[in-house]
Structure 1
Amino acid sequence: MAPPLNSIISRLHLKQLRLLIALADHGSLQSAAKQVSLTQPGASKALQEIETTFGTALFNRTNRGLEPNEIGHCVIRYARLIHTDLAHLREEIVGIMRGHGGRVSVGVIMGAVPRVTDAVSALIAQHSEMSVEIVEDTSAALLNLIDTGRLDLAVCRTTISQTPSLYDSVKLQDETLAVIANVNHPLYTPERITLRELADYRWVVYRANMPMRMLLEREFREAEIRFPSNLLETTSAFATLSLLQGNPSFVALVSIDVAQFFTRHGITRILPLTLSSRSEPYELVTRKGAPASPGAKLLIEKLLNPTSDVDAAALR
């Protein structure tokens, strides 16, 4: 049985977490002890105290050294997260003391990447010492990261959540979709083409039950065309681009912002296909009731007002 949380909090020390990380990195008590400035007997005692705290062994003792067991891998993963969070805490404190906002972590779904990167670029232009982490993933994954405090904010959709009331959200922009292809796609023409003409080509799409995928399925259904069965599924903009570059006959459904970015750089073409369905808008999402850091406030302002030149002092 796992020990109570209060027991873990009162008995676990940061230096012990450093020892766990060192043990995972080296697999040797002697090397780990040296890294965290402990004697080998001191490190052995500290490991015993850690395992007593969690009420179970965390490592298997083998002739190759110490190897984390399943619970050990779990504890080490969280030890690394805590260590990273403390590093981020320090960055943010330094940033606040220097008056530039510190650090901010933002999540984004593929279609909104251009909007977010434009906002980040504008932010960095005004606050060059700001540290920014950008995580691209699905709405479900990003909301989970917001739940656990791993992200300050995200540009995604709360409609996919069973508990949207857990979030504060603001509509950011409507999403218009486009079909893109390699510049040498055999069907490319400046004239209008139909969905039926594209039905037999290989599609790069989001996986099932995601808003953009469901919209495409609805388009096929309303046109009374069988939905393609041989699909390439990805949520990655880079994977989509790489597939189109390597396969001139492939087509992909993306947001118009992503489509225009790729096309503007001569990487893909936007096919002249008119879609009747509309996608759900992007939202700027934060955890309900959670205070925003100075860095998060600055980025939120850039996302909501892309042309504004709000100074950090105005947000404090």
Structure 2
Amino acid sequence: MVPSLTSITSRLRFRQLTLLVALDEAGSLHRAADRLGMTQPGLTKALREIESTFGMALFERSPKGVLANELGRCIIRYARVIASDLGHLREEIDGVLRGSGGRVAVGTITGALHSVLIGALAQLRETQPALSIEVREGISSELLNQLNEGRLDLAICRTTVAKQADQFDYEALQDESVAVAVGPRHALAKARRVTLAQLASCRWILYPGNMPLRTLLEREFREAGLGLPPYPIETASSLATMLMLKQDPTLVALMAEGTMAFCEEHRIARRLPLAIRSRHEAYGIVTRRGARLSPAASLLVQCLRDAANPGGGLGLVHT
């Protein structure tokens, strides 16, 4: 039987939420007790009190430690969100008392990092120089998980990879074009015309199979009547892709436009004269559905809108 909201709010304490998160991260009662400065028997008793509040076990015990079950993972996710919101509360209070400051954590896919985030952060720092900013780079699925767990205030990514996209609010920022890149010493680096058929026998650096850029490239080869090049190097890391292109003169890679521009500016890679016909889906600002952003995060959202679309922002779209 699911406990009533009154029962949960009257019995559950913030300290217990911290305990659940620590236990999940540590994976054992002993390590979690050390982290929290408690004895193991004391932690065991506290966990039983929490489980009695919900009327069921939250962790599976084994000789190797403890592992959150499905209900436990659900409660721990909300525990992290509550802890994050409390952190925002403290930062907002501090900012009010000092007249400035605060903290914001933002996640981004690589293409948006070059295209909009760097400019937005520069604008944000001009208006809020005392602001602390955390930037995490990753693929969309990773960023959505961190956002859902309360580790990020907002993310710049895509929600189409989410299992439950309705958990998020999404505001479109930019369409993203792509380019085909090679290292400066590649045989085709200075070619005036290149066909996809010429590249079919090359060694490619590909994104993993679940990522939009990989799907786009597969579609491009399929529509050209070509098979995907064999024996690829697979990585989601833009930095690894850049380093490999510069080092190995035989490799080819598909890049987001922002990353390609960065590589050209710093002579890391060259753009091939080959148009990719398939359209890459847009990315945007993603927040937890219904979440109230801190003043610092709200300022960053406006700076992102300005960086992506100087003529004005786009409306909020629920996906």
Mapping of 1:1-316 within 5 angstroms?
7-18=7-18, 24=26, 28=30, 32=34, 35=37, 45-53=45-53, 55-56=56-57, 67-71=65-69, 83=83, 86-100=86-100, 102-114=102-114, 115-143=116-144, 145-146=146-147, 149-160=150-161, 168-208=169-209, 210-287=211-288, 289-306=290-307
Tell me the distance in 2 between the aligned counterparts of 1:94 and 1:182: 49
Q: In 2 relative to 1, CA 262–100 (structure 1 residues): closer, same or farther, beyond 3 Å?
A: farther
Pairwise CA RMSD: 4.0
Report the identity percentage.
Answer: 45
Tell me the distance in 2 between the aligned counterparts of 1:161 and 1:169: 12
User: Which secondary structure state, in structure 2, belongs to the residue aligned with residue 257 of structure 1?
Assistant: helix
Q: Is the 8 Å Cα contact of residues 95 and 130 (structure 1) preserved in structure 2?
A: no
Q: Is the 8 Å Cα contact of residues 96 and 294 (structure 1) preserved in structure 2?
A: no
User: Which secondary structure state, in structure 1, belongs to the residue aligned with residue 186 of structure 2?
Assistant: coil
- Unpaired segments ≥5 residues, structure 1: 309-316
Scaled by the length of structure 2, what TM-score is found? 0.74
Instruction: Indicate the residue corresponding to 2:314 in structure 1.
Output: none
Q: In 2 relative to 1, CA 170–188 (structure 1 residues): closer, same or farther, beyond 3 Å?
A: same
Deviation at 1:132, TM superposition (A): 2.4
Q: In 2 relative to 1, CA 269–52 (structure 1 residues): closer, same or farther, beyond 3 Å?
A: same
Higher Cα Rg: structure 1 or 2?
1
Tell me the distance in 1 between the aligned counterparts of 2:269 and 2:15: 52
Tell me the distance in 1 between the aligned counterparts of 2:20 and 2:167: 34
Deviation at 1:301, TM superposition (A): 1.6
User: Which secondary structure state, in structure 2, belongs to the residue aligned with residue 305 of structure 1?
Assistant: helix
Deviation at 1:270, TM superposition (A): 2.2
Q: In 2 relative to 1, CA 235–96 (structure 1 residues): closer, same or farther, beyond 3 Å?
A: farther
Q: In 2 relative to 1, CA 61–277 (structure 1 residues): closer, same or farther, beyond 3 Å?
A: closer
Letter of the structure 1 residue corresponding to residue 103 of structure 2: R
Scaled by the length of structure 1, what TM-score is found? 0.74
User: Which secondary structure state, in structure 2, belongs to the residue aligned with residue 213 of structure 1?
Assistant: helix
- Unpaired segments ≥5 residues, structure 2: 311-319
Tell me the distance in 2 between the aligned counterparts of 1:262 and 1:155: 21
**Residue-by-residue CA offset, 1:35-83 (whole Å, 9 max, x unaligned):** 26xx887666545434544544858697xxx943555995778766655
Letter of the structure 2 residue corresponding to residue 254 of structure 1: M
Q: Is the 8 Å Cα contact of residues 29 and 44 (structure 2) preserved in structure 1?
A: no
Worse-matched range after superposition: 13-22 or 250-259: 13-22
